[in-house]
Amino acid sequence: LPEKARAWITRALVTGRVTSGTALVRGRLSDFPFDASNGLFEGRLNVSDTVLDYEAGWPWVGEIEGEVVFRGRGLEINAVAGKIFDSSVQKINAAIPDLFLHEPQLTIRGEVRGATTDVLRLLRESPLKDKLANFVAGLSASGQVTLNLDLLIPLSVQPNQIKGTLQFRDSALHYVDK
């Protein structure tokens, strides 16, 4: 693998257990990654209690239960359970479609449910703090929230692209005067 992709995988998959795995290779290894449809490579790892540190400065996803799949040029991590802070990951898909690109890109799509206070913590402790520090200063919260998140993270110096929606349930946001 190219250095950027190898470095990301080494840093991002912090800890965890592989509970089972399979590998399938069809074709000559010298033809890998089989771009000319002259073979197939697929490795599947079922993981448990795994920590994913997908991007420096962002909160880790911990306690992941799911699958890591290497197929052809790509990598995909599919989590069916996990935690960000005290919030529950309902599902997360992290994918690098082409690990062999000079500038590979990571996409993350997921749904997280938990306390509205965890959203404030995310805004205060992630790179979003640079843009939202004035908004979240003095803000307190209560209730529950569902966060649908869509991130595009270039494994280079390019800026991240972030989209997300929040669905509040019995929540309240309050500014505390100092």
pLDDT tens, position by position, for the chain (178 residues)? 888 888 899 999 999 999 999 999 999 988 888 888 899 999 999 999 999 999 888 899 999 999 999 999 999 999 999 999 999 998 999 999 999 888 889 999 999 999 999 988 988 888 888 888 788 888 889 999 998 988 888 887 677 778 878 888 888 888 877 5
pLDDT at 178: 58
Q: Give the residue among 100, 99, 80, 83 at the shortest CA–CA distance from 91.
A: 80
Q: Give the residue among 86, 126, 92 at the shortest CA–CA distance from 111.
A: 92
Q: Give the residue among 85, 108, 112, 92 at the shortest CA–CA distance from 160.
A: 108
pLDDT at 56: 86
pTM of the model: 0.85
